Structure 1
Amino acid sequence: MNEIARRLAPIAKDQTEAQYREAPNNLEAEQALLGAILVNNDAFYRVSDFLKPVHLNEPLHRKIFEVAGDIIRMGKTANPVTIKTFLKADEKVGDLTVAQYLARLASEAVSIINAEDYGRAIYDLALRRSLITIGEDMVNIAYDAPLDMPPQSQIEDAERRLFELAETGRYDGGFQAFNDAVALAIDMAGQAFERDGHLSGISSGIMSLDARMGGLQRSDLIVLAGRPGMGKTSLATNIAYNIAAAYEPEVQADGSFKARNGGVVGFYSLEMSSEQLATRIISEQTEVSSSKIRRGEISEHDFEKLVACSQMMQKVPLYIDQTGGISIAQLSARARRLKRQRGLDCLVVDYIQLMTGSGKSSDNRVQEITQITTGLKALGKELNVPIIALSQLSRQVESREDKRPQLSDLRESGSIEQDADVVLFVFREEYYVKNMEPRDEFDPKYEEWKQTFEKVKGTADVIIAKQRHGPTGTVKLAFQSEFTRFTDLADPSFTQYEEH
């Protein structure tokens, strides 16, 4: 028995040590950084862009860093004398009072040159502590998983938390000071002033549409809806390619890239294959009919244009996912991965009704659509990118004399209208007028029909039915059906915007 006890003793000791392992931290680095800030307030600005109070491990150090930051931002001097009035006077640090501890920090301060190095060390340790928390949660949930949480859901949740940690250095969210929000708003205005076209959002490449929307705003859910044959996929494809083709990267201080113009686009094509989508884009760019490309009815000159276009398109940052029936959780996980690996500035989903919800298969399609639109809105905010989600319209449009879509026509759920920041309807009167052509060209009504058809031929209306940031109304565009291309109207007399 004594032999067994002797053998188990080292194991028990190792387990006890493992159980009480201290979270990674560096008290001396925190003290050195705070001392440098108290001696020379410029040290604060060396670390303030990436280091926040929450990154310091010692609660008193967090409070000192926070108070010092507030005082310095107000243009005042932060030193042991000015800071101590904002801290608890009766708090003790070992044998020292808070005032004595502040004086000790300042007296043992390191050079300001080292401030950023200490800040980086503290930040890295904070990330490690966050990783430990996520890891512990993963292990605990996996051991004692709730019945309604399948392993796939846990993987998606862990991936979301890791992505947030990688993007921002913290995963707890919480409130944001209003002055930070104001600073962001001013930055956005400054970027809009410098960007081509002076847009606050990303340019769609269609000027008359940008003029009414200010571009595609980050974190917005933009629903693009229309009946079959109206060209909603064509418009989404046009916008996606325009954004990707205009991409101009700008190197940031940390070595990452940010889009100065255009952007990296992710396109979820649930209806068409990637090859069909590519054919549409090539047709639009080369002005060679997509039906001729598919049938091989092209000349040698046309083929040369296709090859030249494909070589140019290889450099365009447009990524296509053709998985059918993808769930909102899978879509979110893949979008996070794309942003982490390649960058992401805009997301297109074609279309909402072909997606599935994340939960159990439900008979209630309305609830499922609500889950999808809520998920898309949350994803847009999380990734800080505009999401263009296509949607079908109900058949009740066809039974009306006036075929122009209304918000009430959005199919299967009021949540599409509710969650969307912008709702756009694509309406081509040409499509309906063409179907009304009299069979006999000698019919007295034929001339009247011909005049109406010539008036609407090659035009399309994009109806802005809802917009949180601006007015509603109708934008007239040109539509070339053989190339599936939407463009601004060449004749300025047609580019009038009807405001409602």
Structure 2
Amino acid sequence: MAQPIPFPAPGSPEGVTLPQNVEAEAALLGAMMIDNRIAEDVLQRLRPEHFFEPLHGRIYEQIAFLVGENRLASPVTLRPLFAADPAMKELGGPAYLAQLTGNPASLIGARAFAEQVYDLAMLRALVTVGRDMVDEALDTSKEINPAAQIEIAEMKLYEVAEKGANDGGAKSFTRAAALAVKQAERAMNSGGSVSGITTGMADLNAMTGGMNRSDLIILAGRPGMGKTSLATNIAFNAARRWIDDREAGIPEDKSIGAPVAFFSLEMSADQLAMRILSEQSEIVSEKLRTGDISPSNFQKFARAAADLEQLPLFIDDTPALTIAALRTRARRLKRQHKIGMVVVDYLQLLQGSSRSQGDGRVQEISEISRGLKTLAKELHVPVIALSQLSRAVEQREDKRPQLSDLRESGSIEQDADIVLFVYRDEYYHDFKAPKAPDANSSADDLEKYQTWQDEQLRVAGKATVIVAKQRHGATGSVDLRFDRQFTKFSDLMPGH
């Protein structure tokens, strides 16, 4: 068999030989042409660019094309496709194709050859990433930004790792069924309502089954409804449950809690921490900020902070993050801290790629929502993304949100597995307050004020979470208690 032409990789360092085995490539191509059934197996993983020898990559591409068209791929059928190929001419012309099939023994090791070709391609990709890292680090002619370079390098490394993962593709029904049984077992062990990550609220868990892995959950509401408060409550409850389950000796894979990554694009990390500590210590956050608290209350606050010292809740308050940077940081947190839930506050503050920004805001939001859904599937965690609602809500008599109220709603609604709306009648009812009665008030005025007060008592301290979309179950609504002082959501007491 003629030797394949040598191929120095473009841009490879002088004197450095990149990982390669052109003989294995040649043997694999020969086996594929002898028995096209081998190609059907190999095509699921290998691509033309995985071949070190460019000519081999082109031959592989044509074999893939013919097999995909349900046609025979052999030296005879491939010959016309390479009659004018310069690299093939250097090896004596299309006769080289017949030479590749000259060793029938290659059929025995074909799959091993395919694995080796793939693994060597991954190693070359690592070399390329490493070389780019060195070049970038040595280039001081442009603005020096080590943090950005590290993020880019991490992204590239993750892309190599992602390509190298072999757990994708179709799952057998046996494997898929095993995953379903595991999910049902987690729900049963949790008391019968949580198959994903707990929200910490029994009624909301009962409606949604918790926050399910690989789901994109959109949590939306108008300003003042408490969507950030609900998100922090869920994040805290999931992280706290993780600690409680671990202390109770429950295995990690059976816990309904999870370490949480909270990307706060609006509030700073200390503001978010202050809010959580206010909720848990039940001290009004405004008093904490101004220092208007007694020594006993400060001790209570400090104890709450000490109790939560080990809370697996990681806050990233970097402003103006791009969706690509957020995904890189989430992957890092998954690797370092095994996060099981991601919260993004809020979606409209994320930025798309520079390419999508040029296509308008709707396209940019589409890229962001798709990126968040992809992240949920990649990391196998629920991603809760907060979203604004359009002002159309305020123009209606009925202020309850609808799916059409989502800003740039098309892509967000399409990509979401669950859409939750936070709604509080109390917020709007406050604006309807009639003038307080006095000695000159008429009986009609007194009746109006009494009616308003009665309604105020009914709606005070209550919130509704509207499940407007749910792929896994029914839509509906869940009533919750909302403590406005501490911005804390919890289950309603029976009878309230």
- 1:453 aligned to 2:420? no
- How far apart are 1:294 and its partner, in Å? 1.3
State the Cα RMSD in Å.
3.9
Tell me which residue corresponds to 2:256. Answer: 261
- 1:93 aligned to 2:105? yes
Tell me which residue corresponds to 2:179. Answer: 184
Tell me which residue corresponds to 1:487. Answer: 490
Tell me which residue corresponds to 1:395. Answer: 391
Cα–Cα, structure 1 residues 333 and 137, in superposed 2: closer, same or farther, change >3 Å?
closer
Tell me which residue corresponds to 2:321. Answer: 326
Select the residue among 256, 266, 271 that pairs with 1:271: 266
Tell me which residue corresponds to 1:135. Answer: 127
Select the residue among 377, 382, 402 that pairs with 1:381: 377
Matches of 2:455 and 2:216, distance apart in 1: 36
- How far apart are 1:311 and its partner, in Å? 0.5
Spell out, residue by residue over 1:207-256, the C-alpha distance to the aligned partner (whole angstroms, 9 max, x if none): 100001111000100000000000000000000001111114779xxxx9
- How far apart are 1:293 and its partner, in Å? 1.1
- How far apart are 1:272 and its partner, in Å? 0.7
- Contact in 2 for aligned 1:138/1:154 (Cα 8 Å): no
- Contact in 1 for aligned 2:221/2:389 (Cα 8 Å): yes
Partner of 2:490: helix, strand, or coil? strand
Matches of 1:200 and 1:314, distance apart in 2: 28
Q: AA paired with 1:391?
A: S
Tell me which residue corresponds to 1:357. Answer: 352
Q: AA paired with 1:417?
A: E
Tell me which residue corresponds to 1:282. Answer: 277
- Contact in 1 for aligned 2:216/2:372 (Cα 8 Å): yes
Partner of 2:367: helix, strand, or coil? helix
- How far apart are 1:180 and its partner, in Å? 2.3
Select the residue among 400, 419, 422 that pairs with 2:418: 422
- How far apart are 1:467 and its partner, in Å? 0.3
Partner of 1:174: helix, strand, or coil? coil
Cα–Cα, structure 1 residues 435 and 135, in superposed 2: closer, same or farther, change >3 Å?
same
Where do residues 151-162 of structure 1 align in structure 2 (5 Å cutoff)?
159-160=154-155, 162=157
Aligned residues: 387
Partner of 1:356: helix, strand, or coil? coil
Tell me which residue corresponds to 1:227. Answer: 222
TM-score norm. by structure 2 comes to 0.69
Matches of 1:141 and 1:292, distance apart in 2: 49
Where do residues 310-325 of structure 1 align in structure 2 (5 Å cutoff)?
310-325=305-320
Q: AA paired with 2:213?
A: R
Identity in percent: 49
Matches of 1:190 and 1:316, distance apart in 2: 26
Q: AA paired with 1:310?
A: A
Matches of 2:181 and 2:271, distance apart in 1: 42
Cα–Cα, structure 1 residues 244 and 20, in superposed 2: closer, same or farther, change >3 Å?
closer
- Contact in 1 for aligned 2:220/2:227 (Cα 8 Å): yes
- How far apart are 1:366 and its partner, in Å? 0.9
- How far apart are 1:165 and its partner, in Å? 6.3
Partner of 1:224: helix, strand, or coil? strand
- 1:296 aligned to 2:291? yes
- Contact in 2 for aligned 1:201/1:214 (Cα 8 Å): yes
Give ranges in structure 1 of 5+ residues lacking alignment: 1-14, 27-52, 55-89, 102-122, 144-150, 495-500
Matches of 2:310 and 2:148, distance apart in 1: 35
Tell me which residue corresponds to 2:94. Answer: none
- Contact in 2 for aligned 1:250/1:258 (Cα 8 Å): no
Matches of 1:140 and 1:267, distance apart in 2: 31
Structure 1 residue runs of 4 or more that deviate by more than 4 Å after TM superposition: 15-24, 123-129, 136-143, 151-158, 164-169, 248-251, 256-259
- How far apart are 1:259 and its partner, in Å? 6.6
Cα–Cα, structure 1 residues 135 and 408, in superposed 2: closer, same or farther, change >3 Å?
same
Partner of 2:453: helix, strand, or coil? helix
Partner of 1:482: helix, strand, or coil? coil
Matches of 2:197 and 2:167, distance apart in 1: 29
Q: AA paired with 2:295?
A: E
Matches of 1:140 and 1:268, distance apart in 2: 29
Select the residue among 455, 462, 465 that pairs with 1:462: 465
Partner of 1:347: helix, strand, or coil? strand
Tell me which residue corresponds to 1:243. Answer: 238
Matches of 1:163 and 1:429, distance apart in 2: 46
- Contact in 1 for aligned 2:186/2:254 (Cα 8 Å): no
Spell out, residue by residue over 1:355-413, the C-alpha distance to the aligned partner (whole angstroms, 9 max, x if none): 11123333611111111001000010001000000001011111111000000100123
Tell me which residue corresponds to 2:303. Answer: 308
TM-score norm. by structure 1 comes to 0.69
Where do residues 71-110 of structure 1 align in structure 2 (5 Å cutoff)?
92-93=104-105
Partner of 1:176: helix, strand, or coil? coil
Cα–Cα, structure 1 residues 21 and 357, in superposed 2: closer, same or farther, change >3 Å?
closer
Matches of 2:465 and 2:161, distance apart in 1: 39
Matches of 2:341 and 2:19, distance apart in 1: 43
- Contact in 2 for aligned 1:127/1:165 (Cα 8 Å): no
- Contact in 2 for aligned 1:202/1:216 (Cα 8 Å): yes
Partner of 1:261: helix, strand, or coil? coil
Cα–Cα, structure 1 residues 325 and 140, in superposed 2: closer, same or farther, change >3 Å?
closer
- Contact in 2 for aligned 1:218/1:386 (Cα 8 Å): yes
Tell me which residue corresponds to 2:362. Answer: 366
The farther-off stretch of 178-187 and 320-329 is 178-187
Tell me which residue corresponds to 1:437. Answer: 433
- Contact in 2 for aligned 1:207/1:488 (Cα 8 Å): yes
- Contact in 1 for aligned 2:129/2:157 (Cα 8 Å): no
Spell out, residue by residue over 1:269-315, the C-alpha distance to the aligned partner (whole angstroms, 9 max, x if none): 11111111111111110111111111211111110110000011111
Matches of 1:172 and 1:358, distance apart in 2: 28
